[in-house]
Amino acid sequence: MIVNLFTDAPGTLQTEALVLFVRDGQRPRYIKELEQQIPPLALASFKAKFGETLLAFPAKGTVKRILLVGLGDSATDRDPVEVFRRALGIGMKFLTKQGVLDVAVYIGAIFDESFDDRFDAIIREAIVISLIAPYGYEKHRSKKEDSTELRSFTWVAPLARTKEKLATLLKEACVIADSVRIARDLVNAPSNVMTPAALARAAKQLVESQPTLSCTVFDQKKLASAGFGGILAAAQGSDAEPQLITLEYLPAGQAGKSEQVKTKKTVVLVGKGVTFDSGGINLKPERGMNEMHMDMAGGAAVLATVYAAAALQLPIHVVGVVPAVENMPSGTASKPGDIITSKSGLTIEVANTDAEGRIILADALTHAAAFKPDLIIDCATLTGAALVALGEERAALLGNNQKLIDSVLDVGRQTGELLWQLPIDDDYREHVKSDSADVKNLGKKGNAGVIAGAAFLEKFVSKDTPWAHIDLAGPAMRSEPGAYQPKGGTGWGVRLLTAFLEKESQ
Ligand code: BES
Ligand code: ZN
Ligand code: ZN
């Protein structure tokens, strides 16, 4: 795909389609010269309600189509930038669905001076959204549908920004959009294709384009000799071997053993990589099981974010740790009531084999500590309870450090990848106490499921290390398309975690 920057007057651009935005009740004054090319009757009936579209074919000039997209009025408690993201997504999908694959976007003056300090970020975000809104997972169709993938994208920006600045924003946006698409592809791949070994191969492939990345994979033999009892137990019902994937980004000039690098901040991101979750011996009901190839969405977001950090050359040391297993029932599978010894030495009562995510994350969090991180964030489709509580709209956020949690919440608001905090305290810690082992992988009577999951994970993190847990079981996958999200894997978390790393590197 070709990405261009155009800094002259929008009307002089040569393009298949130009997208413009209009606020409710306001004539698009800033596009005067183009407005004259839209039939007055059509323009008069266009109310600019949120998401309303008007496609016009100018009789003359170099712009073949003008698409007006309504932003609605401001009587909404949605962040105005999010309203804009959605309108932009609607416009991009509208055109690409019709086979218009060469698209230019002009945002003109829809953001006033009050957005000045966010303006660079808004431009970059707008380009990211333009590039991720048209998306389809078509890999396994033998007859390719008429493509709805963009062929070329032009950012029209006769604005008070230098060409150099705009070019940088454009380049960064392409990296972030690529990363979101990488995560979506990983999540959407079916479980017979995206096995633990395939996920490890995908991680290794990311290294090929980024020399500052390195990838190590522990296979079953290595996991056994190193005592990763949790990962082994969760995987033992499957014929697919477990893999512990570590994808590490060291900023250029810092090559060498990661343990020796202490000059820069180190962030470890841990992601759940269950490539299929049948529930194991506590087999899931039929409903929704076919979607359980998405249970590695946390891992996908982590791998894609580490890739983004490298491609953006952020001045921060980032390690992604993704334990990958398939959770299956069989004669060799873990059984309810089993007691296993995790990598940390803590014993775990496997009260329910469907709560497998926390068991593999326990070992991964122990592995994470070896990098002496300044902070750890884990990302996991851990509980159906998170989906029940917050829907597909928000992820649940918990942790042991309010400053870190506030920072993640804030980045969530900035990126539109929203989170909601839930508590962990001693009353909830009671829920995961076991009669027979150090900790139990199940809460009390299925209550407070999200918190029980986090209270369990907390046992495997040092109190001195700021840690946040993101349960993205809701937003990782959509049951129907959103304005700029597809149905299926959303790549949720990549924009959030990348923005978080950028903030940490400042
Ligand atoms: N992968 C599931 C959680 C999930 C459910 C993700 C729906 C996305 C959509 C997880 O491993 C699981 O099964 N959790 C159990 C935990 C319970 C046994 C404590 C759950 O949510 O029922
Ligand atoms: Zn499960
Ligand atoms: Zn799971």
> Domain with 57 in it: what CATH number?
3.40.220.10
Residue 335 inside a domain? The answer is: yes
- Read off the pLDDT of residues 3-13 as tens digits, 9 standing for 90 and up: 999 988 888 89
Residue 128 inside a domain? The answer is: yes
CATH number, domain of 459, equals: 3.40.630.10
pLDDT recorded at residue 256: 52
Distance CA 393, CA 295 (A): 18
125 and 249 inside one domain: no
Cα-to-chain-centroid distance, residue 43 = 38
348 and 280 inside one domain: yes
Q: Which ligand is nearest to the CA of 384?
A: 1
Residue 175 inside a domain? The answer is: yes
pLDDT recorded at residue 9: 85
Cα-to-centroid distance, 352 and ligand 2 (Å): 9
Residue 125 inside a domain? The answer is: yes
Ligand 1 site, residue 130, Cβ cutoff 6 A: no
- Read off the pLDDT of residues 243-261 as tens digits, 9 standing for 90 and up: 999 999 999 876 554 544 4
3-state secondary structure of 418: coil
222 and 79 inside one domain: no
Give the closest residue (by CA) to ligand 1 atom 11.
Answer: 355
Give the closest residue (by CA) to ligand 1 atom 5.
Answer: 384
Work out which ligand 1 atom sits closest to the CA atom of 352: 18
3-state secondary structure of 435: coil
Structure tokens at 148: 């709805």
Residue 226 inside a domain? The answer is: yes
156 and 238 inside one domain: no
pLDDT recorded at residue 171: 96
Residue 343 inside a domain? The answer is: yes
Ligand 1 site, residue 296, Cβ cutoff 6 A: no
165 and 221 inside one domain: no
Q: How confident is the model at residue 29 (pLDDT cuts 50, 70, 90)?
A: low
Last residue of one domain, picked from the residues 113, 144, 179: 179
172 and 227 inside one domain: no
Ligand 1 site, residue 449, Cβ cutoff 6 A: yes
Give the closest residue (by CA) to ligand 1 atom 8.
Answer: 473
Average pLDDT over residues 323-348: 98
49 and 149 inside one domain: yes
pLDDT recorded at residue 312: 98
Average pLDDT over residues 458-485: 98
Q: Which residues lie across from 249 on neighbouring strands?
A: 213, 318
Average pLDDT over residues 235-247: 98
Give me the chain's average pLDDT, please: 94
CA distances from 287 to 283, 284, 352 (A): 11, 8, 19
Last residue of one domain, picked from the residues 124, 148, 179: 179
Ligand 1 site, residue 471, Cβ cutoff 6 A: no
- Read off the pLDDT of residues 98-112 as tens digits, 9 standing for 90 and up: 999 999 999 887 888
The domain total for the chain is 2
Q: How confident is the model at residue 59 (pLDDT cuts 50, 70, 90)?
A: confident
Ligand 1 site, residue 477, Cβ cutoff 6 A: no
Cα-to-centroid distance, 187 and ligand 1 (Å): 16
Which residue among 278, 281, 354, 456 has the greatest number of ligand 1 atoms within 8 angstroms of its CB, and so is best to mutate? 354
249 and 170 inside one domain: no
Q: Which ligand is nearest to the CA of 291?
A: 1
- Read off the pLDDT of residues 426-445 as tens digits, 9 standing for 90 and up: 999 999 999 999 999 999 99
Active-site residue numbers? 284, 358
Ligand 1 site, residue 359, Cβ cutoff 6 A: no
Cα-to-centroid distance, 376 and ligand 1 (Å): 22
168 and 209 inside one domain: no
Last residue of one domain, picked from the residues 179, 214, 233: 179
Average pLDDT over residues 168-179: 97
Cα-to-centroid distance, 395 and ligand 1 (Å): 14
229 and 105 inside one domain: no
pLDDT recorded at residue 97: 94
- Read off the pLDDT of residues 135-158 as tens digits, 9 standing for 90 and up: 999 889 887 767 888 999 999 987
- Read off the pLDDT of residues 395-423 as tens digits, 9 standing for 90 and up: 999 999 999 999 999 999 999 999 999 99
- pLDDT > 90? residue 210: yes
Cα-to-chain-centroid distance, residue 478 = 12
pLDDT recorded at residue 259: 47
161 and 223 inside one domain: no
Name the helix (H) or strand (E) containing 457: helix 449-458
Q: Which ligand is nearest to the CA of 387?
A: 1
Q: Which residues lie below 8 Å from residue 469, measured CB to CB, with a gap of 6+?
A: 377, 378, 380, 382, 397, 398, 399, 453, 454, 457, 458
Ligand 1 site, residue 295, Cβ cutoff 6 A: yes
Residue 342 inside a domain? The answer is: yes
395: left (phi over 0), alpha (psi -120 to 50) or beta: beta
pLDDT recorded at residue 260: 45
Ligand 1 site, residue 277, Cβ cutoff 6 A: yes
Which of residues 30 and 326 earns the better pLDDT score? 326
Residue 185 inside a domain? The answer is: no
Distance CA 23, CA 47 (A): 9
54 and 154 inside one domain: yes
Do 449 and 384 contact (CB within 8 A), yes or no?
yes
CB atoms within 10 A of CB 226: 14
Range of the domain at 163: 2-179
Angle at which helix 196-209 crosses helix 297-311, to 10 degrees, equals: 10
